[in-house]
Structure 1
């Protein structure tokens, strides 16, 4: 009798242990299940700009390392259009299986939602943010033979023409914010396809000035085809140590500095990998863990630095919280003013 009772208790103990192993979403079983799911599959990384731009180059840097970690095929699909709106909307409506990702402009997505940009159908807090890939400041530049040589020249120009892809594209909004803070007489010209086209428009004299993320324009700055004027932020950037910040070039009125502070905060999340809403949590966790391994791999970092693509990783959980915080707090009471300036004033 006692032997039978001991046998029953032993069986019950084994059953409880088995159930305990199965239940937690973050358990080894769940992780193994996600790993099995990706093995041999094809993962697509969407890019909302043409080949050759910064977002495309970062995606292609990451793809082979991610493929090796997942034991899967990883392909890049460029879906340019709507200043990144098209690709992010495609991601948002894609099948929630974790096989479609995007190397997205998190800052552009935030600005589109803050300004109620038509066509921005996604909910930032329902998207699954996986990892920040990089964050850099924006640099203001002009052509080598430009009549604009410094900030004072720009300030006294009757009209300063800037290249952009569209409203709230994470370029035109930076120009608008810079102009509102400093008093530049700016006119933003939309319709360019991506970073390369915007930079060439400045170099060829189609427009007077441009703003891009440092790495997107660094080769043309080093070659001398373009000349930097200022870093749009509070700190100089290591790749351009002799280029002053906008705060070094001019005294911005105390009631105007919030423009730069606001846009700099939005820019902290910059390039980020994201999955659509509804992806099973174990796959989200697995992708986040895998991308941590990829983006902290010394080989990836070294290859990125060699190609002027610096990696500045932030894990997906922290990134998700940071985006939510920006959406809730960054604009404060200034939101109506931001919407007017970013979407209308300089077009």
Structure 2
């Protein structure tokens, strides 16, 4: 009996020793190396902030002297370009990155250009939750969510672009609660709020931080929330939904709201290195220093680490046929674009905003370095090549929106 007990104890000690060795091996790999943290957006904004905050502090918790991160911004195609780069990176633990979980929609509908499988990625964690808010215009006839549902006329919802997160969310909320609606693309969050104040739009889906700020400033009225109860006294969609399909849609939207500011690496990162990354990520977000810095910048911290994040992603991807069909239908929605032509009066910030004189009126378009197709004299060009005095045609959803195409004469 004593011999058996000694053998059991010895086996336990060997197992513990092996686990410790594995952990040390995972950490040791990163000593003296420079990691790459890909952000699937341009510099600035929430995704970039969280990536730079975490990547700056995380090496302190790696237990790997000399390890550091460099942040690489790789925007384009609604986070698809950056996420593709993360997915195909060498699976050694050196490259990780951050992107929107709205890519769940892209994978479900098999959007062109998607080369990743979110379920297979090496999930490190998520830094925050982002309760989704339905906000209506103060000057609208809607005082409550019940008023929105009972509207006798289509409610005019704002969205940024066809297939965007705000576009999908607006339509999905409409489908879940049978809201009569007209979703009007071409509005970023700030533009949508201004349009609501002018009475041009009546509602928009937004994140809780921006919606609460706009509500406090008297620029909108919050009538419903999805996810955590970020706004006391406002009804939650989970308590309002009545139909089975509506509940499925709400569950999908809530999953998206719970998984904000995610970080993952390519499939196949060795288990010991992935554990080292996850442990350091968790310690970073638990540190008082990071919490204080994020709070000062008004960015919430609500972490979740490892397979718990992966499980939620897999659940969100696993949608019934009727929801998949709805998402695919939304992604192929046709909208009417405008084309306005005239002489360029000015081009600001390296071509990021282009102004022309059209039929005696000044109009402008925002431009994207990846999404806006620019030609000059019939040849491909960059937005920074557009100069005052050229004659250009802007193709967009409305004046002030992002242009899909700008054609200029040489």
TM-score, normalised to structure 2, is: 0.66
- Asked whether the equivalents of residues 138 and 213 of structure 1 are also in contact (C-alpha less than 8 Å), the reply is yes
1:147-296 equivalence runs, <5 A: 147=140, 149-150=142-143, 151=145, 152=147, 155-158=151-154, 160-167=156-163, 169-182=164-177, 183-189=179-185, 198-205=188-195, 208=201, 209-224=203-218, 226-233=219-226, 236-237=229-230, 240-246=231-237, 253-255=242-244, 257-258=246-247, 259-296=249-286
- Distance, in Å, in 1 between the alignment partners of 2:194 and 2:183 is 17
Q: Quote the offset at 1:137 in angstroms.
A: 1.4
- Distance between the aligned counterparts of 1:221 and 1:54, measured in 2? 20
Kindly indicate whether the alpha-carbon contact (under 8 Å) linking 1:140 and 1:211 is maintained by their aligned counterparts in 2. yes
Question: What's the CA shift for 1:178?
Answer: 0.8
1:115–1:338 CA contact under 8 A, matched in 2:
no
Out of 70, 75, 94, the position equivalent to 2:70 is 75
Aligned to 2:377: none
Greater helix content: 1
Higher strand share: 2
Contact kept? 1:229, 1:244, Cα under 8 Å: no
Q: Once the two structures are superposed, what CA deviation does each residue of 1:97-125 show, in whole Å capped at 9, x if it has no partner?
A: 222211222x3132221222222211122
Aligned to 1:343: 331
CA distance in 1: counterparts of 2:298 and 2:334, whole angstroms: 32
Asked if 1:116 corresponds to 2:110, the answer is: yes
1:91 is aligned to 2:86 = yes
Partner of 1:316: 306
Q: Is the 8 A contact 2:215 2:222 kept in 1?
A: no
- CA spacing shift, 1:185–1:80, aligned 2, 3 Å: same
Q: Which runs of 5+ in 2 are unaligned?
A: 1-9, 336-410
d(CA) in 1 for partners of 2:22 and 2:133?
44
Residue matched to 2:293? 303
User: Residues of 2 paired with 1:130 and 1:44: CA distance?
Assistant: 14
Cα deviation digits, residues 50-109 of structure 1 (max 9, x gap): 33322222223322211322343223332222111111111112222222211222x313
Number of matched pairs: 312
- What is residue 10 of structure 1 aligned with on the other side? none
Higher relative contact order (CA 8 A, sep 6+): 1
Farther off after superposition, 51-60 or 261-270:
261-270
Alignment of 1:21-170 (within 5 A): 24=18, 27-70=19-62, 71-105=66-100, 107-142=101-136, 147=140, 149-150=142-143, 151=145, 152=147, 155-158=151-154, 160-167=156-163, 169-170=164-165
Q: Report the TM-score when normalising by structure 1.
A: 0.76
> Unpaired segments of 5 or more residues in structure 1?
1-15, 193-197
Determine if contact 2:167/2:183 at 8 Å carries over to the other structure.
no
